[in-house]
Structures are given as structure tokens and as C-alpha cells.
Structure 1
Amino acid sequence: MPAITRSVLWLSFFAAILLAWAWMFMMARMMGVDWIGRPMEMMQMGDMPMMQMTTFGALFPMWAIMMAAMMLPTMVPTLRSYEDLMTSANGTRAGWLGVLLGYFVVWVGFAALIAVAQIALMASGLIDDLGIANSLWFAGLLFIVVGLFQFTRAKEICHGVCHSPGMYFLGHWKTGFGGGLRMGLGLGAFCVGCCWGFMALGFVGGVMSLLWMGLATLFMVVEKLPQIGHYVTKPMGVLLILAGIGCAVYGVIA
């Protein structure tokens, strides 16, 4: 029975990820954007009604689903680490679910914050209704800010927890669903601190760009892998800063 329960939970976990990606694809189609987040030709859209994502009531669910699509895959090492401690530290499947729920609750909270940020950026004219930067200067600034963050102490601390969740569990271990929930909330907070910048970069190419979502998810997964995660953080920072400088220079000469 424990093996069956484990299999069902893991299959449900991966099914939720696939469902979130499928939902994002459908939302992109309803908004009339292609896989890179740009408006499709009207002749391709036919009579399909176009969804307007300009209010909190529309943006918050979109970002919450996006958090599920992008961040749940990065949680696999964390859930595996919890499983490794289930026997030696009296962990339970209820605790496993608590960790998962706590983690996702924090990211849903972040979804609310970034939805408000998107509304403010649209009101200021810095991004359009599709969440795409209207200015190369603004896009360049986002690249540089996120790139510089990769070299900060805050990034190092948050990434250290995300990269080695087993150490966090050993230092904050609580049993049962409630204990798992508390640990999940803590891990989620560190994960937001580690990865917020890659969510903000959605405003460069469009928050409904499936290409951006896929690339950002891939990098965040790699960044949390135990063997290689520490080796990609600062090189990515360099690339982001160079991209920001490139945007700024192009903005001058264009």
C-alpha cells in the first residue's frame, strides 16, 4: 500500500504540472498570442474571442497557474529529499503533501503581488496589454537588475536552501501535515527569493510567451540540481547583464 500511495501521489503531481502547461497554452490561444508571446495574425484567429488580461481578476489566476507550470517542476529535488528522511526522521505522506502545499501557497501569494505589479506597469505605459515591454530601456534595465541579483548575498543564501533542501529539513524538521506545511512555507519563501527575477523577466518578452516560460523553467530546474546548480548561477548573471547592455545600446542606435 505505501508503494501504491507513493506512485499515485507522484503521478498526480506530474499530471498537475502537465495540466497547468496545457491550461497556459489554451490561455495564450484565447489571448491571441503565439508560442513566443506575440499577437497572431487575425486571419489565423478566425472568430475566436480574444481574452483581455488587464484586471487583477484575470491576471491573478493566470499567474497562479503559471506558478504551477513553472515552479512545481523545480520542486522535485525537494520532495525527493523529504522522502529520503521519511524513514529516519518519522516523515509521512501527509507531511509530504504539507510541504507541497506550503510551497505552492507562497508562490500563489507571489502571483498576487506580480499581478498587481503588472497592472501598475501597464498603467505607467512601461508594458502593453500582453505584458511586453514597450521600451528597450526598460527591458535592458530588467535584464541588468536580475543579472546583478545573481551575484548578491541574498541570491546566494536563497539558492543555497533551494539547492540543498535536505539541510533545511534537518534544521527545521517538523512531523505530520502541519510540520510539512510549515517547512513548505519556509522553503517556498526562499524559492521566491531565489527565482523572483526570472518571473519578472516575463515582462521583457511577454508574460504569455510559452518560449520564455519553458526556458525559464529549464534554467530554474538546472539551477537547483545538486550536482551542477552552483555552477550556472553567476554565468547566467553575466549573460543577463550583457543582454541588458545590448538592449540599451540597441535602444540608442535604433
Structure 2
Amino acid sequence: MEGPAISSRGTRASSHAFLGVAALLFAASAVTTVVGCTTMSAMGGIPMPGGWSMSMTWMRMPDQSWSGTAAAFLGMWMAMMTAMMLPSLVPMLWRYRQALIGTSRTRLDGLTVLVGLAYFFIWSVFGALIFPLSAALAAFAMEHPTLARAMPIAAGVVVLIAGAMQFTVWKARHLACCRDVPKHGCSMPTNAIAAWRHGLRLGVHCSCSSAGLTAILLVIGVMNLTAMTVVTAAITAERLAPGGERVARGIGAVVIGAGMFLLVRAVGFG
């Protein structure tokens, strides 16, 4: 049976605890990401035909199995996604908590955790799909110089497509669903299944909304700290700023310009 609702003082304490845990989680994930990126950068890359370098992210070390390599990538991916998505997720979780009026503190904290776990579970699924596809493409490029030479052009095309996606109805719909979190005072189911489903739904919409920007990160360099920072800022802005759809289109215009630059540079280099 659910306990008594949180008092005013208890609400403040719960809110402070929530923000404190979120800050610690962000700090831990950010430090882990920076350390991982620095380590990967120190290892360098494999020079490839076409004037680019293959990241060691997709390579298996001599003393590693493929399962171990995949597990290491997934761990790094989740640390990176936690650092990148928390700035925009925390306000959504905050509003979710505000919607659960009349809920005991223990239950409120538990439901919030479930929403967050379900949200990042979706991102872990994406990471589990990305690694084998990217590793296979990297291995194929290593064996076929013609494909390797075409990769810089392909990267430019991917960035162009990602920019164009920012103007689509598909993007607008997922972004709207991602931004449409419960408002203060609304009625929300207060059970674990509903919380898990809410987190899954939020994760699906937000990952689909961020698909184009995430693709840019993958083709530019998944362990590139500068690219991560820029993509994080773009995702946070379009999710939280007033007029998110207009912000997304502005980002799309910038991305299209960047894609054209990459294409011109790739063609010129070739």
C-alpha cells in the first residue's frame, strides 16, 4: 500500500536529492567519456586511402574477443549517451516528478529511476545495433581500398541527409513527442509498468528525433569530444528551447552547410 504523500519539506528534500544524483551521474559519465576518448585518441587511427583514419573504436585488439570488444564499446557508448542526453532528460524527468502529485517519496524516486532506466535501455539497444554494423563496414573498408576512398564522400552525404532530416515531418513529430512530457498537476499512473512504458516511449521518440545528429557523430568520429559537445548542445537546444521545431530547422541549415563543405573537401582531395 502506498505511503503518505510527501510534505512540503519532504518535497524539497526529494527534489534536492534528485538534482544531486543527476549532477553526480552527469559528472561521472562525462569524466568516463573524456578518459575513454583521450585513451582512444592516444592510440591513433589506421591511415586509409582517401586521406582519412579508421578509428580504433571499431577494431578488435589482439588480446580481445569480439564479444569483449563489443562489451567495451557498449560500456563507452552508454557513458557517452548518459553525458550527452542528461542535460535534456533531467528537465523532462523533473516535470514527470511534478506530475506525480500525492505520491510518496520512496515511490516517486523509484518511478523516476524506472523512467530513466527505460529511456537509456533504448539507447543501449541502438548501441548494440550500431557496433556490429559499423565494425563490419570498417572491416569491409579495410579490405576494399575503393570503398575506403569513397568514405569521405559518403560521410559528407550522411551529414547532408542528417541536415535535411531536420526539416522533415518525421523529425518534427518525434521532436514534439520528445518535448511533450507531463505537465505539473496532470494525472499520471503511479505504477512501475506505466513508468517503464513512459521511459521506453520517451526513449524511442528522443532517439529517433536525434538519429540524424547521432549519425553525424558516428561519421565524424564517435570518440571526438568536440563533435560530442556540439551535438549535445544541438540536441539540448532543440528539446528545451522555446520553438523547438524552429531551432531544429536552424540546426538543419547549419548541418547542410557543413555537409556541403565536407563534400567539396572530399571531392577536392580525391
CA distance, structure 2, for counterparts of residue 10 and residue 52 of structure 1: 33
Q: In the TM superposition, what are the counterparts of 1:1-254 in structure 2 within 5 Å? A: 1-33=10-42, 54=59, 55-87=69-101, 92-125=108-141, 135-166=151-182, 173-254=188-269
How far is the alpha carbon of 1:163 from its aligned partner? 1.9
How far is the alpha carbon of 1:88 from its aligned partner? 6.9
CA distance, structure 2, for counterparts of residue 210 and residue 202 of structure 1: 10
CA distance, structure 1, for counterparts of residue 57 and residue 223 of structure 2: 12
Distance change in 2, residues 1:32/1:225 (3 Å):
closer
Match of residue 48 from structure 2: none
Q: Residue by residue, what CA displacement relative to the aligned partner does 1:169-222 show, whole Å, maximum 9, x if unpaired?
A: 969x43123321110111101011100222211233311111111111111111
How far is the alpha carbon of 1:26 from its aligned partner? 1.1
Moved over 4 A (4+): 88-91
Match of residue 53 from structure 2: none
Equivalent pairs, count: 233
Q: Residue by residue, what CA displacement relative to the aligned partner does 1:17-69 show, whole Å, maximum 9, x if unpaired?
A: 111110011112222349xxx76xxxxxxxxxxx8652323222111211111
- The aligned amino acid for 2:110 is A
- The aligned amino acid for 2:168 is T
Distance change in 2, residues 1:226/1:89 (3 Å):
farther
Question: Partner of 1:232: helix, strand, or coil?
Answer: helix
Contiguous gaps of at least 5 residues in structure 1: 40-50, 127-132
How far is the alpha carbon of 1:5 from its aligned partner? 2.9
CA distance, structure 1, for counterparts of residue 197 and residue 26 of structure 2: 23
Instruction: Normalising by structure 2, report the TM-score.
Output: 0.77
Distance change in 2, residues 1:2/1:177 (3 Å):
farther
Distance change in 2, residues 1:222/1:96 (3 Å):
same
Identical pairs, percent: 27
Q: Residue by residue, what CA displacement relative to the aligned partner does 1:94-123 show, whole Å, maximum 9, x if unpaired?
A: 222221111111111111112223212312
Point out the structure with max Rg over C-alpha.
2
CA distance, structure 2, for counterparts of residue 138 and residue 251 of structure 1: 9
Match of residue 47 from structure 1: none
